[in-house]
Every structure is written in C-alpha cells, then in structure tokens.
Structure 1
Amino acid sequence: MYLSRHRSLRRPARTLVLLAAGTLLAAGCAKAGTAGTATGSSDGDGAKAAAPVKVGLVYSRTGPLAAYGKQYLEGFKAGLEYATKGTGAVDGHPIEIAEQDDTGDPAKAVSEAKDLIGKGYKILAGSTASGVALQLAPIAAQNKVLFISGPAAADQVTGINDYTFRSGRQSYQDTLTAASFIGDAKGRKVTVLAQDSAFGQANVAAVKQVLGGEGARVDAVLAPPSATDLTPFAKQAKAAKPDLLYVAWAGETAPALWQSLNQQGVFSATKVVTGLDVAASYPLFGAAGEKISFLNHYFGGAAGTEVEKAMTASLEKAGAKADLFSPDGFTAAQMVVHAVEETKGQVADTDALVKALEGWSFDGVKGRLTIRAEDHALLQPMFQVRLTGNGAAAKPSVEKVLGPDEVAPPVAKAAG
C-alpha cells in the first residue's frame, strides 16, 4: 500500500485560502507561531483584522492512495463551506489551508508535519494511509498540536494520545459490520486476505478479536503491498477452505486481486465479505459482484440525510461526486470549525481545542456522529450493501443500516 522510504525532493505546499466574503487577507499577516491569536493586520482603515486560523492537510495527493486523498480533499472543502455557511471564516478568522502531499510515505509525512508545526500550525488533518497516521499521532502529542486523522482505518489510531482524533471509520467498525453477515461464528473458519501493511494487519487483529472472540478459527493470507501478481495469494485463500473469506484491501491493485479471485473460483467456493470500495471499482467485480456480501463505510446516496444532500450539492458545484471517503474530509472540516468556534479562534490553546471536540455529537453526512470522550473514537452508522448489475451498470444499494452502538469499538485507554 505504501511507497518506499526513498526520499524525493519535497514539492512546495499548495495553499488554499478560504476567506469571508468581502475580506482581503494580505500576505504575511500572520507570523510563524501566531496562528489563531487575537492579533492581525490592519485592514487599511486602522481596524485590526482577525488573524487567520492555519490548518495543515497532510494527505496523499499522489501515490497509491491518491484517489482516496482526492475524495478527502474535495469533502474537506465541501465541509468547510457547509460549516462556515459559505464564508470560509469562523468568528471573523479566515481558515487558511496548506496542502502537503505525503505520497503515502510515513517518513515524508513526518517531515511535512514538522515543517508545518515549525511555521506555527496548531491544527493538522489528513492521513489517507494508516502507516502515516500512526507516525503523525506521536508528533502531534509531542508538539501539542490537534491532529484529525482521515481515511486511515488502523484501530491503533483511536486512543493513541490526547491530541489525536479521527474523522473516518476504523477497522473494528468494518469487522463488526462483516460479522453481522454470518451470525453465530462459533466453530466457523475465517480467513483474512489482506496486504501486509498497517491497514491489513489492523484488520487481521480486529477479526481475531471480534470473530475469534466468538469462537471462530481465524487465520490470514497476507500479500506484500508491492505485489502485483496476486494469483498465488488467491490460491492460498481458496486452499484454506474457509467458511468466510474476509478481504481487506486498498489501493490500485484491487482490480488485479478481484480478477485473481474470480479466475481461481473463490466466489463459488466460499462466502466472501469485503468493503465496498470507491465507485470506480464497481464495474471491476463483474458478475461476481452479486455474489459478494459488502460492508460499507459510505457510498454516494447511502445516507439520505440533509447534511449528505448539502455535501453532494457542494461537490457537484465543484465538479466532483460523493464517494467513499468524501465524508471523512467533510467531517474533518466540521470538527475543525467546531473547535475553532468553541475557542473563538484562540487555537494556540490546543488543550481547549481537544476539550471542545471530546464528547461532541453532531449531524454528519452519514447521520448522527459522536466523538467518544474517553478515546476519541468516532461513533457512526455503517452499512450492509448489495451490488447489482454488471460493468458500468453496477449500482450499490443499502440492505441494512447498523447503528453507531451496533458497531462501536471497545474503549481504548488513551496513552496520554
């Protein structure tokens, strides 16, 4: 899933400044270390303009998870528009966004995060990849910076420290949704097919904890993230003869995986459960798509909420469409705006930002969301989904909505 640790020349950050209507922000009005303070530049009439609130987005603009990063960014922009009622500002403080491309490489992400922190950024968000999130979280704690992880699903992100939150779902919620398909797991054999990465290992651990705890025998087939010939791993999965094959996969090799599984006759040999990926992947399942039981974090139109309608309208206005990780960006923006509102733009007090988010319940794209105070897990609905039709005609539909309590992960004790 992740690129090698070879360091390339870092590209300069792209900066997006979202301003309140009629407000002009002069370049250089906020010095490093003063983001979100009460002071600002003169507006020309002698009055003080509110200082901008700087938010750094460290995400995969390129690399294996670039499609996920694109959805996250589009969702974030839509969420910022929604949460600020189109002004791009909170209590007069313009929200200033700096984008950093981590390419999915944790080492590069750490470098980018440190650079932003050195420039005075007190709020970081993003993390398309789990390996990135697990490296950025300790940096946030060491520097007392608010960090809101995005699509990264590794369970270890929840409760890792007091300064880390998440705006997406986690592997345990996926696993509980998968478990809802098989009923009594006692005596059943479950095989997890995944990449040997932070994301894949988190899924194996979650399946062992959830289904293994209910009496299932759990084993795993793990493929190197760099593998492109996936036939050997499809063969291993079939040879394991599981009652349930749980596939946890992400990234650009997914089409090759499904092709290999189909060629090896896995779909007719066992029950296959997997997460429904981005819309572009729907045609790749072919006729086998109707044989798969899909757990789902989100697809466009899944929720039917007023917030979802607002997000969809904003995305379409920008030439984009709602997809798997659009809500992760949208929710992150809601969280940023709420924290800044509660602190009246005084983001230098990071502990106050944390306090503002802990225990907060709000209406999100998927429905009612709650940030659990004890460990910052994001409690949210999940979906059982059916895919019908082949090729371009393949369309998802919700079979069942699982409430936040049904898929709530166990409380993780915060490390500090």
Structure 2
Amino acid sequence: MPLLFAALLGACSFALAAEPERAPIRLGMIDGMSGPFANAGEAVARNLQLAVENVNARGGVRLADGMHPLQLDIFDNKQGVEESLIELRRLTDRGIPFVLQGNSSAVAAALVDAVERHNRRAGGRERVLFLNYSAVDPALTNAQCSFWHFRFDANADMRMHALTEVIRGDAQARRVYLIGQDYSFGRMVAEAARSQLAAKRPDIRIVGHELHPVGKIKDFAPYIAKIKASGADTVVTGNWGNDLTLLVKAARQFGLDAKFYTFYGNSLGAPAAIGEAGVDRVRAVAEWHPNAGGAQPGTASARFTEAFRARYPQPQDDYPMLRMHVMIEMLVRAIEQAGSTDAVAVARALEGARYRSDLHDAVMRAEDHQLIQPLYVSVMQRLRDGRIRFDNEGSGYGFRTEAYLPAMQTALPTTCRMQRPSR
C-alpha cells in the first residue's frame, strides 16, 4: 500500500509539474516613482499590487484555457510627459495590453493621444487600453474622450460639485481663495470652483486666485501670506502630493485661520502636516474613506481598511484607495466576459459595466467612459475624541463623513462624441 500510494503521489506530482503555466495578463503602470511626487506613485503601486494579489489569491483571471495570473509592471515616468511617452513605447514593445496611469492630467492627455496613434497603427492584439485611476481633467471624458480610455476616478467637475454642495450650506463661507498647480488640472479646478460657486452661492466673493509651478515650490509661506492678506475664510485647492503637504504645513506654521476644501487633504502626509489646526476645518472629497459608514467592527469599510493595513503595516504606507481596487476588479470581469485581452472586446465589455459590493456601487458610463460613483465629503477629526475609528498614516487624525452623494447625484452631463472602431 505505501508503495502504491508513493507511485500515485509521484504520478500526480508529475502531472502537476507537466501542467503548463499560463501566461500572466500584464498590466503596465506608468507613473512617477522618483522625483518630488514619488510618494504619490508609491501609494498607487501599493494599492494596485494588493488588488492584483487579491485576484491571484482566488486563482487569477478565467479564460477558455484556464486561469491566468495578473502581473503588475511599473514604469517610472518621473512625472514628465516626454518620459511617459518613452515608457509607453517600452510598454507596448513588451506586448503589455493594459496601460494604467493617473497622477497628472497633462500626462494622461498625452497618453490618450499616443494610445490613439498606436492603436491606429497596430493590428489585432497589439492594441492597448488605457485605464485612468486619478487624472481628473474633465476634458479627458468630454472634448478629448477616447474609446481606448476609461476613467475610474470622479472628474474635477464632479469632485468640485460635491465640495460646493457642502460650501452651499456653510453660512460662514463668504470669502474664497483659489490656489492650485499651474497645469491643466489646476486650471480646471479653479474654473469649476468659480462657475459652481457663482451658481450655488452668488453671495460668495473670490478674493484671490493663484497658480504655482507643479512640484517646484519648497516654501509656500509667500502664498499663505497672500491668502491671509486677502481676508479669505475659505481656501479651495486641488493640490496633491508634496504640493499639498507643503501648502498645509505652511498654513499651520503661519496660523492661517481658514477652512480648506480640498481634493486630497486626507492623503500623503497632509493630516499630520495640518495637525490640530485641521480639526473641523479641513475637508476632502473622495469615492470612499476608511471611516465611511461609521466603519464599525465587521463592516465592509472596516474589513477593507484592516486588510490593507495587514498588507502594509507601516504608518507611512497607510493610504488605501478604493478606486484602484474597483478598477482592477472591473477589468478582470471585462476580460472574462470578453474571453480575451483584446482591447476592443474588453472595452466593449467595460462599457456600461456595473460594480456592486458592500463598499461601492458604480457604473461605467458608455457615452464617455467615465465611472459614475458615489462621493463622500469628509471633515478632519481627532482619533482620541472617539468620533472616528481609523486615523490616517498614524497621525492621530482621520476623517468623518460630512456629506454623502449617491452616484445619481454625482453624474454630470458629457460633451463626448466618441469615435468607436468598427471591430
């Protein structure tokens, strides 16, 4: 009997060893992994890697010939447009079918054009899809919309709509200062703030508007001095990465007594930099945050946050972003529905696709490839006060939901006139 068992075991081992290893489905992330915004690129990479690991832990992606693992390849663009185009060529030369990028709308716009050109030249399976997780310039799903591009973040107009809904009800908001980064995204944020505040709160005065170079300012004290001199009681900014962290550090240092309505004030060192001065003052908008729904033990938000922290236990790595995980899950389902990684087939499977879980309920609008999803506006709180369960990055400060907009209230009209391939 032992000999028979050993023989059977040997035969099974041989069969397993002879089982062909299915080729991985490769995802190419192009983002800044060095330079002044490396922390933003690293945060994205952590979220994408965990999402990939979650898919692979359940066997991978099911195709007709069996299960295929996902593989994340990272290309460092140093946050530059030209470097991004070089990295895109490297990615396509390697036959990677899916391009992932988000940090910088200027980069995203260049990649949309480059992917369009590549796919016109390429045939069949050499075409690629561009999945955008953070570049929020509204033009990318309006005038510059592309069949080959899908955005999984709310665009700047949608995010500003959520923030201005809160400002609408803030009776203390009278004098608003706009500050942002001097590129397409920063200009769009300012434009959206002006138009939406004019419609919702015509009594509010815009008392200043400043655009600064992206990633080049080391001392924001002169900007804070201008904001203080303007008498602003409210600051609206789309700044991200170190441009946000250094801005709020300067605001704290020089005692700026104003509320901050931000796109990314809950991220990448900002809560610790703001510290006590941000409690009940700093607001952020996102598709989700760790204390969404109260985050009581056993809730979906609590489980998701705890799983992220188990994988990345260092406080400086503590920045879970739900949209990255939604993007990977929706891509996997689209590949399985299409039965291949062919760009056209996967794109058509993504159009109109719905994602629904205990955490989120979203749909990919077919007209412009903009994900329509809920948005939260949250306000900074002390962990020790007991009103929140999770802080951010071990700072002792986190965010509590102040307003929740369901997906149907975040959707805005699109001007996209999409050109679709015949096959």
Q: Same fold (TM over 0.5)?
A: yes
In 1: Cα distance, 2:213 partner to 2:367 partner:
35
Which one of 20, 24, 35 corresponds to residue 63 of structure 1?
Answer: 35
1:254 matched to 2:244 = yes
1:384 matched to 2:386 = no
Which one of 150, 159, 170 corresponds to residue 165 of structure 1?
Answer: 150
Q: What SS does the aligned partner of 1:180 have?
A: helix
1:139 matched to 2:124 = no
Alignment correspondent of 1:111: 86
Which one of 44, 50, 66 corresponds to residue 78 of structure 1?
Answer: 50
In 1: Cα distance, 2:165 partner to 2:279 partner:
18
Q: Could you tell me the TM-score, scaled by structure 2's length?
A: 0.77
Alignment correspondent of 1:274: 262
In 1: Cα distance, 2:306 partner to 2:349 partner:
27
In 1: Cα distance, 2:36 partner to 2:418 partner:
31
Q: CA 1:256–1:44 in structure 2 vs 1: closer, same or farther (change >3 Å)?
A: closer
Root-mean-square deviation (Å):
3.2
1:398 matched to 2:401 = yes
In 2: Cα distance, 1:90 partner to 1:318 partner:
28
Map 1:17-416 to 2 at 5 A: 45=18, 50-83=22-55, 85-91=57-63, 92-144=67-119, 145-159=128-142, 160-183=145-168, 190-214=176-200, 215=202, 218=206, 220-225=209-214, 226-242=216-232, 244-267=234-257, 270-275=258-263, 276-278=265-267, 280-297=269-286, 298-302=288-292, 304=295, 306=300, 309-310=303-304, 312-313=306-307, 316-317=310-311, 319=313, 323-324=318-319, 326-344=321-339, 346-348=340-342, 350-363=343-356, 366-389=359-382, 392-416=395-419
Letter in 1 for 2:273: L
Q: Could you tell me the TM-score, scaled by structure 1's length?
A: 0.78
Q: What SS does the aligned partner of 2:242 have?
A: coil
Deviation at 1:149, TM superposition (A): 1.0
CA contact (8 A) 1:385 1:399 kept: yes
Deviation at 1:262, TM superposition (A): 3.7
Deviation at 1:243, TM superposition (A): 5.6
Letter in 1 for 2:289: F
Give the stretch that moved more between structures: 243-252 or 320-329: 320-329
In 1: Cα distance, 2:81 partner to 2:320 partner:
20
CA contact (8 A) 1:77 1:333 kept: no
In 2: Cα distance, 1:197 partner to 1:308 partner:
36
Letter in 2 for 1:285: I
Q: CA 1:314–1:253 in structure 2 vs 1: closer, same or farther (change >3 Å)?
A: closer
In 2: Cα distance, 1:116 partner to 1:171 partner:
28
In 2: Cα distance, 1:388 partner to 1:72 partner:
25
In 2: Cα distance, 1:277 partner to 1:152 partner:
17
In 2: Cα distance, 1:233 partner to 1:143 partner:
42
CA contact (8 A) 1:369 1:378 kept: yes
In 2: Cα distance, 1:376 partner to 1:230 partner:
37
In 2: Cα distance, 1:353 partner to 1:50 partner:
19
Q: Percent identity?
A: 21
Task: Answer 1 or 2: higher relative contact order, Cα 8 Å, separation at least 6.
Answer: 1
CA contact (8 A) 1:299 1:323 kept: no
In 1: Cα distance, 2:71 partner to 2:176 partner:
47
In 1: Cα distance, 2:175 partner to 2:338 partner:
51
CA contact (8 A) 1:69 1:128 kept: yes
Deviation at 1:184, TM superposition (A): 6.7
Deviation at 1:84, TM superposition (A): 5.0
CA contact (8 A) 2:330 2:353 kept: no
Gaps of 5+ in 1: 1-21, 24-42
Deviation at 1:182, TM superposition (A): 2.1
Deviation at 1:356, TM superposition (A): 0.7
Deviation at 1:135, TM superposition (A): 1.3
Gaps of 5+ in 2: 1-11, 120-127, 384-393
Q: What SS does the aligned partner of 2:47 have?
A: helix
Deviation at 1:228, TM superposition (A): 1.7
Structure that is richer in helix per residue: 2
Give the stretch that moved more between structures: 207-216 or 142-151: 207-216
CA contact (8 A) 1:372 1:378 kept: yes
Q: What SS does the aligned partner of 2:85 have?
A: helix
Deviation at 1:375, TM superposition (A): 0.8
* Structure having the higher Rg: 2
Q: CA 1:399–1:237 in structure 2 vs 1: closer, same or farther (change >3 Å)?
A: same
Q: What SS does the aligned partner of 1:181 have?
A: helix
CA contact (8 A) 1:380 1:404 kept: yes
CA contact (8 A) 1:148 1:167 kept: yes
In 2: Cα distance, 1:376 partner to 1:257 partner:
33
Q: CA 1:153–1:361 in structure 2 vs 1: closer, same or farther (change >3 Å)?
A: same
Q: What SS does the aligned partner of 2:150 have?
A: strand
Alignment correspondent of 1:14: none
In 2: Cα distance, 1:415 partner to 1:236 partner:
43
Number of aligned residue pairs: 372
Give the stretch that moved more between structures: 209-218 or 59-68: 209-218
CA contact (8 A) 2:153 2:371 kept: yes
